[in-house]
Amino acid sequence: MAISYSYVSAYAQDDFYDINHVSEIRITFQESNWRYVLDSLFTNYGESGRLEGNINIDGQALKNVGVRYKGYSSFSSSEAKNPFNIELEYAINNQNHKGFTKLKLSNVIHDPTFIREVLSYEIARKYMPASLANFAMVYVNDTLLGLYTSVEAVDTKFISKYFPSHNNTFVKGSPEQLQYPFGQNANLAYTHGTDSSGYVSYYKLESDYGWSDLYNFINILNNDTAHIPNVLNVDRALWMHAFNYSVLNLDSYIGYSQNYYLYKDDFGRFNPILWDLNMSFGSFRNSDGTATNLTINKIKQLNPLQLLTTNSFTPRPLIKNLLLNTTYKKMFMAHIRTIINENFINNEYYTLGKQYQNIIDAYVQTDTNKFYSYTDFLNNIDTTTGSISDQYPGIRDLMEARMAYLDSFPGFHGAPVIALVQHTPTLPAKGNDVWITAKISGSSYAFLGYRQKSDDIFLKTRMYDDGNHNDGLAGDSIFGAKITVSGNAIQYYIYAENALAGIFSPERAEYEFYSIQPKINPGDIVINEFNLNWIELFNNTNEDYNLNDLYLSDNNAAITKWALPDTLLPSKTYLIVWTDASNTSSIVQSNLHVADFGGELYLAYVAADIIDSIRYGEVEPLKSIGRYPNGIGPYVYMQPTFNNINQIGTTQGMDLFIFPNPTRDVVYVEFQNDDAPYSIEIINTNGQTLSNNYYDKDSDTMSVTAKSIDISTFAKGIYVIKLIYKDYVLTKKLILF
């Protein structure tokens, strides 16, 4: 059974954040007292004050960027190495580095290992949208400040990767003035009045509007808990809390109620997004909502369900009001189990941590402004370092104790077992039913989460073991549920629970899911363009399609002549199938033939199930035949647009097109014709007509006229092509070499 990923499935990590690449970032200010200026701006203006300078990122020079310090706990005016927030579009619109317009550089002040933040984001990205992160050596005015962590900003570019839109309400849980240890901060409690204005100082609005949306969300979260799923992506919130409790990231919502984002999707639900993981793995221990100044031993045994039995200093409705629901509580514990099993029980976290330290080892030694010794860097991945009053737990020591504690925690074990996940029929068609079944042992309740568009929300339907849901015999532990196919994709997961615990299949759901591809309908994938050498297919839909079971043919008597490869054709993308046998480098090389003087092409499952087809006439040299508009229009002659959107170019309307140009022996003249007589003249620079070709009505069904003219006897030079058609006279310059 194939498993797919959420919105980011087709997204490849950007080179800038390649973990194996340590960037070189050089900032230049005109001001020699730049430290004093940045200190003053940050102290007096916070996030609104920036100093303009230039920057060079791995050799790319960018001018007039805006630079400020960031991070209240990691900034100090007495330190040489402070964290930076750099806006590349500060003075020049659309200025970017590899598509990124913001740089977030952390100074690693609370991490002797240097890897806590990068490792945490690596783990988080398996289960939810989370930033990319790696390392950078930072210089200012040619003076090395040291090794920083470089983290992808959570901005509109980030939002666009994971959501269909990016202009909805977007909020950061970041109070104007952090109150600790007992402040409300951004805890999402309904404690600041009945108007959105009372909440302004506790959150930062990243979108152009949205205060009323945030207030409505807070009101329902606190006062109308039955409708929380209408305004919150509950599963995403449970994953965020599970992550924070697993890796002991307390400088978050579960600590001082900060360092997270909320984005409202197109279905009206707020989606939590992690931020600022530099103090994960127990580096921050001042508060977890119910206690202050936690010791390392206490944090190892931090109760993930503590808010159900102990009141926090200030309300934590985003956790407590979810965990009061017994199914949500079991889902939360299931997510913790998955994180622990997939990253810690198998020791993957430690292998990655050592790998990251090997990458940066030489850079750490070069960093003379680091806050800890090189010995601490080497040792803190295993054991505790620092003074008695300022200790940083060894990551390995901490997590081994954490694993042992959670292993005996209620809800960690005892979950049902889900196996043999299947669906029938294999290739369901729209309008028909598809049955999904699974063998679920030890379960008292199970449901199917499903959607039929990749940007939709998951609906839920109960699964039954009653013998009436394509599930075999009643009580045989085979559960079944039915979906009527209505979309271009079916994505689903299964959840089951008993009195002790719950479990998902796949275990990373809802971020990961199973996929069923319904039968492709005419118009979903089309023969988009072809010439004598290749055929281009195009996926018209918003879904990714696997081409398995589809065939291309150039003969209606042998529809299954050539099987398409078992490959994924992503949404709105192209696949080139070569017909030119000389192109041996192509991995998609067919035995098909596009004929010079006409033929046919078919895309089909079988002869009775044709997806797309065309009967074509003469194929003009150096030209192609393709759909215009791209993907949906009729076939016309055009300039080849290999693996790209079809451009009709100058053949649309009353324009004249000549090709090739410059040329030597022959020229082709093309224009849009509606079966009227026309003439084509070739005139030299002295005004002499050297060739006059008259043509009667054409019967070209594509309504595009293309004629070849022999010019092999003409001398080198510049000529004019003159077309006389009805009341039109069109001319183009022609160069002969």
One-letter amino acid at 300 equals K
Same domain membership, residue 191 and residue 250: yes
Separation CA 148–CA 489 (nearest Å): 43
Give the number of domains in the chain: 5
Separation CA 714–CA 732 (nearest Å): 17
Same domain membership, residue 421 and residue 341: no
Same domain membership, residue 210 and residue 130: no
| Residue 250 placed within a domain | yes
| Residue 627 placed within a domain | yes
CB 380 within 8 A of CB 394: yes
Cα Rg of the chain (Å, integer)? 32
List beta partners, residue 103: 86
Residue 64 has which token pair?
Answer: 């007039």
Same domain membership, residue 243 and residue 337: yes
| Residue 576 placed within a domain | yes
Same domain membership, residue 293 and residue 185: yes
Residue 333 has which token pair?
Answer: 């514990």
DSSP class per residue in 685-731: TTS-EEEEEEE-----TT-EEEEEEE-TTSPSEEEEEEEEETTEEEE
Of 287, 321, 345, at which residue does a domain stop?
345
Q: Please report which confidence band the pLDDT of residue 586 belongs to, taking 50, 70 and 90 as the band edges.
A: low
Of 614, 638, 662, at which residue does a domain stop?
638
Q: Provide the CATH number for the domain around residue 701.
A: 2.60.40.1930
Same domain membership, residue 291 and residue 187: yes
Average pLDDT, stretch 152-178?
Answer: 94
Q: Is 293 left (phi over 0), alpha (psi -120 to 50) or beta?
A: left
Helix, strand or coil, per DSSP, at residue 168:
coil
Residue 270 has which token pair?
Answer: 């707020």
Helix axes 395-407, 326-340, angle to 10 degrees: 140
Same domain membership, residue 163 and residue 309: yes
Residue 360 has which token pair?
Answer: 């940066």
Same domain membership, residue 338 and residue 434: no
One-letter amino acid at 140 equals V
Position with higher pLDDT, 349 vs 710: 349
**What is the chain's mean pLDDT, rounded?**
91
Contacts of 198 (CB under 8 A, 6+ apart): 192
Place of tokens 């791995």: 58
Q: Please report which confidence band the pLDDT of residue 737 belongs to, taking 50, 70 and 90 as the band edges.
A: confident
* Residue 77 confidence (pLDDT): 86
One-letter amino acid at 439 equals K
Q: Please report which confidence band the pLDDT of residue 620 belongs to, taking 50, 70 and 90 as the band edges.
A: confident
Place of tokens 């990551």: 395
Q: Tens of pLDDT along 482-521?
A: 999 998 899 999 999 999 999 999 999 999 999 999 999 9
For residue 365, pLDDT over 80 is answered with yes
Separation CA 377–CA 364 (nearest Å): 8
Place of tokens 């690596």: 122
Same domain membership, residue 42 and residue 145: yes
Smallest CA-to-CA distance from 565 within 551, 554, 555, 579 is with 551
Task: Enumerate long-range contacts of 463-470, CB under 8 Å, 24 or more apart.
Answer: 463/436, 463/438, 463/494, 463/496, 465/440, 469/435, 470/424, 470/435, 470/437
| Residue 367 placed within a domain | no
List beta partners, residue 638: 624
For residue 702, pLDDT over 50 is answered with no
* Residue 589 confidence (pLDDT): 87
- Which residue range forms the structural domain that includes residue 78? 3-152
Separation CA 183–CA 174 (nearest Å): 12
Q: Tens of pLDDT along 290-311?
A: 888 899 999 999 999 999 998 8
* Residue 156 confidence (pLDDT): 94
| Residue 163 placed within a domain | yes
- HSE on the CB side for 611, CA within 13 Å? 24
Q: Provide the CATH number for the domain around residue 439.
A: 2.60.40.10
Of 135, 152, 169, at which residue does a domain stop?
152
| Residue 350 placed within a domain | no
Separation CA 67–CA 87 (nearest Å): 6
List b or e across 331-346, with b for residues whose CB sees 16 or more CB atoms inside 10 angstroms. bbbbbbbbbbebbbee
- Report CA-CA distances (Å) from 432 to 482, 548, 549, 603, 637: 10, 20, 19, 23, 39
* Residue 713 confidence (pLDDT): 86
**CA torsion 133→135→138→144, rounded to 10°?**
160
* Residue 52 confidence (pLDDT): 97
Same domain membership, residue 261 and residue 171: yes
For residue 565, the 8-state DSSP code is P
Segment among 99-113, 229-243, 388-402, 578-592 with least mean pLDDT: 578-592
Cis ω before 662 (30° cut-off from 0): yes
* Residue 63 confidence (pLDDT): 97
Segment among 23-27, 599-603, 711-715 with least mean pLDDT: 711-715
Same domain membership, residue 611 and residue 555: yes
* Residue 541 confidence (pLDDT): 92
Segment among 63-77, 242-256, 362-376 with least mean pLDDT: 63-77
Cis ω before 175 (30° cut-off from 0): no
For residue 394, pLDDT over 60 is answered with yes
Q: In which order are the strands placed within the sheet that holds 204-205?
A: 204-205, 170-172, 260-264, 270-274
Q: Please report which confidence band the pLDDT of residue 656 belongs to, taking 50, 70 and 90 as the band edges.
A: confident
CB 708 within 8 A of CB 675: no
| Residue 382 placed within a domain | no
Separation CA 420–CA 439 (nearest Å): 6
Q: Please report which confidence band the pLDDT of residue 653 belongs to, taking 50, 70 and 90 as the band edges.
A: very low
Smallest CA-to-CA distance from 159 within 141, 171, 147, 149 is with 171
Q: Tens of pLDDT along 91-133?
A: 999 899 999 999 999 999 999 999 999 999 999 999 999 999 9
Same domain membership, residue 668 and residue 613: no
Q: Please report which confidence band the pLDDT of residue 648 belongs to, taking 50, 70 and 90 as the band edges.
A: low
Sign, CA dihedral 646-650-654-659, equals negative
Separation CA 150–CA 417 (nearest Å): 40
- Alpha helical stretches, state H, 186-269: 211-223, 228-231, 234-246
Separation CA 115–CA 459 (nearest Å): 39
Q: Provide the CATH number for the domain around residue 604.
A: 2.60.40
| Residue 712 placed within a domain | yes
Cis ω before 117 (30° cut-off from 0): no
Separation CA 544–CA 538 (nearest Å): 11
Q: Please report which confidence band the pLDDT of residue 397 belongs to, taking 50, 70 and 90 as the band edges.
A: very high
Separation CA 45–CA 22 (nearest Å): 31
Helix, strand or coil, per DSSP, at residue 495:
strand
Contacts of 27 (CB under 8 A, 6+ apart): 53, 54, 55, 67, 84, 86, 138, 139, 140, 141
